[in-house]
Structure 1
Amino acid sequence: MSIQWTFIAGYLYFEIAVVIIMILPIFSPRRWNRFFKSRLFSMFQQHAAVYFYVLLGVLSLFLMDAVREMRKYSHSSDSTHLHLSAEMKGNVKLFRAQRNFYITGFAIFLAFVIRRLVSMIIIQDELMQKADSIIKEAESTVKLAKSTVLANTLQSEENKHMEEIRNQLETTEELLRMEKLRGKELEEEASKWKLKYEEIVAQTGKGDN
């Protein structure tokens, strides 16, 4: 395998390892997002789009070269079998062209997969942060509602107690008023009996004289 195809194969193995690490639940999306926002990754992220498209262009050139080699040696294998060694060399070159095609194709495919995984991990972390904030707001709202209901309950109980005291006070005042009226009646009746008693005493004194 030549140097350039060795480099592409190594890059493909690197992509496979990165995809496996990102798929496995080793790190949480929050840790991945922190890594993507770190100073080390930000140096690469500033020109990430340029690097991606340059690498994609290089891989596309190698892919077209592999397709060209495949078409070249596939046509040569269909020709008349002149010599066994020449046919074997053609088949070996065709196999290498096909191998290079698959290596380059999978490298391009995994490049898009990694890019998509990165964006999905960032979106997942943002959604998790929003969900946490919504849950915290909901919990605070529930606590506020509970405190408000408790305060209203205490206020209603206090109002009810004050109403009972007011009713008892009104009842007591009514009883006191009735007792005052009854006391006046008794005073009037007592004064009447006193007058009658004085009249009787006066009449008895006249009779004795």
Structure 2
Amino acid sequence: MSLVWTLIAGFLYAEIAVVLLLVLPVASPYKWNRFFKSKFLAMIGKQSHIYFFVIMSVLVLLLLDAIREMRKYSSTDNVGEVHLNVEMQHSMRLFRAQRNFYICGFAVFLVLVIRRLVTLISSQANLLAQSEASMKQAQSATAAARSLMTDKADKAKEATEDTTLNELNKLKERVQELTSDLNREKKDKEAVKSQAESLNREYDRLTEEYSKLQKQITIGAVGKADKDE
């Protein structure tokens, strides 16, 4: 393995160690966030995007070179005609190209993973800090609201008692008014009922008189007819 690929492999192992440190519960998000915001990392962070693009460019170039080597040594033309030594060298170079491809590929992938993990851990630490601050504000607001509610409840209780007494007095007066109205209506109903009964009796009497008169007129008309004959 050449010096360049030895450095790339060491970089890959370092990336694996960093990912394990970030993923395993070694430290809380607060500690990681303080570490990310330390003075040393803050100085590096000002130019982190430059470092990121430089590293990614180098890794991508090496990855493309490894792909080129793989395609070059993957050709199996005239394999049966070459010497065994040449075939072994060909297979060894193909193996090295594939190894370099996997090293570069995983290195590129872990660079993106570490960048994303750092962003997520920082966001989680900020969200936890905001949630704690919100919880403290909510607790203080709840305590203040409870004290205000207690004071208001006492005042409201006194006001409610006075209001209830006034409403009860009004309801009693209203009940008395409705009772008097009901009694008046009952009296009016009884008067109308007695008046209707008297009208019925008068109607029956007039009907009887009408019947008697009609009989008399009928009898008189029959007698007159007999006299005329």
TM-score, length of structure 1 as denominator length: 0.73
Aligned partner of 1:55 in structure 2 is 55
Instruction: Summarize the alignment of residues 101-180 of structure 1 with structure 2, pairs less than 5 Å apart.
Output: 101-156=101-156
SS in 1 for 2:26: coil
Instruction: Summarize the alignment of residues 175-190 of structure 1 with structure 2, pairs less than 5 Å apart.
Output: none
- Residue deviations 1:69-97 (CA, integer Å, cap 9, x gap): 1011111x343322111111100100000
Moved more, 96-105 or 77-86: 77-86
Which letter does structure 2 place at the counterpart of 1:72? Answer: K
Deviation at 1:137, TM superposition (A): 1.7
Aligned partner of 1:95 in structure 2 is 95
Moved more, 150-159 or 56-65: 150-159
- Residue deviations 1:28-78 (CA, integer Å, cap 9, x gap): 111111111110111111111000100110111111110111011111x34
Aligned partner of 1:74 in structure 2 is 74
Give the aligned CA root-mean-square deviation in angstroms.
1.6
Work out which of the two has the higher radius of gyration on C-alpha atoms and give 1 or 2: 2
Aligned partner of 2:12 in structure 1 is 12
In 2, Cα distance between the equivalents of 1:18 and 1:27?
Answer: 13
In 1, Cα distance between the equivalents of 2:154 and 2:79?
Answer: 102
Deviation at 1:157, TM superposition (A): 5.4
SS in 2 for 1:89: helix
Aligned partner of 1:188 in structure 2 is none
Structure 2 gap segments, 5+ residues each: 163-229
TM-score, length of structure 2 as denominator length: 0.67
Which letter does structure 1 place at the counterpart of 2:79? Answer: T
User: How many residues are paired up?
Assistant: 161
SS in 1 for 2:7: helix
SS in 1 for 2:117: helix
| Contact 2:29 2:121 survives alignment (8 Å) | yes
